[in-house]
Amino acid sequence: MRALLPDAPNPNGWPYRLMVAPDGFYGRYGDAHEAGLITHVISIMPPGGHHFRFAELLQNRAKVWLPSREGQSLSQVVDDELAYVEHFVDALPADAGVLILSLNLGTPALAVAVGLIARQVGWQRAEEIEQELKATLPVSRVTPAAVLIAAWRRRPVASVDAAC
């Protein structure tokens, strides 16, 4: 786990130390947790789903219910949940290390990570960082959940995009 945005931190100075993981790959993030690199977790489940046991291990967690497929999107629910994620992230301390967990080979988690990064550096740079994050996932053909990326794009992001 390393800082993705050391030059564009969130309001409290957190440099976006992120790890994205799908459910069922505890070995991929268990070592990072045991080493103290993971301090917070965002657990993403489809509406009505049950959150991962790992999310209960950490006191600092956000539980989010987000649809990940087209046709499941209720725009107000998605907006409310993304606002909750933004609030959680904006309050992170500078030394935070965040694991974002989701089902579906990490596609909702990757979409949330890309949207959070875009808030700071704009969409062009966020999509470049997405490629770096995808390289760390256990499956090579992972794409962010399209419905969540569309929802993020409707939200305000950094003024960087205006210059792109």
Span 60-79, mean pLDDT? 72
Q: Domain of residue 27: give its range.
A: 18-155
Q: What is the pLDDT of residues 97-154, one digit of tens each?
A: 998 888 776 788 899 999 999 999 999 999 998 888 887 777 767 888 888 898 899 8
CATH number for the domain including 88? 3.90.190.10
Bigger pLDDT: 22 vs 36: 36
Average pLDDT, the chain: 80
Residue 5 in any domain: the answer is: no
Residue 123 in any domain: the answer is: yes
| pLDDT classification of 70: cutoffs 50, 70, 90 | low
The length of the chain in residues reads 164
Bigger pLDDT: 41 vs 63: 41
Q: How many CB atoms lie within 10 A of CB 58?
A: 14
Q: Is the pLDDT of residue 164 over 50?
A: no
What does pTM read for this prediction? Answer: 0.84
User: What domain count does the chain have?
Assistant: 1
Q: Is the pLDDT of residue 48 over 80?
A: no
Bridge partners, 102 (sequence order): 22, 44
**Cα 162 to Cα 122, 144, 157, distances in angstroms:** 8, 23, 10
How far is the C-alpha of 30 from the C-alpha of 34, rounded, in Å? Answer: 6
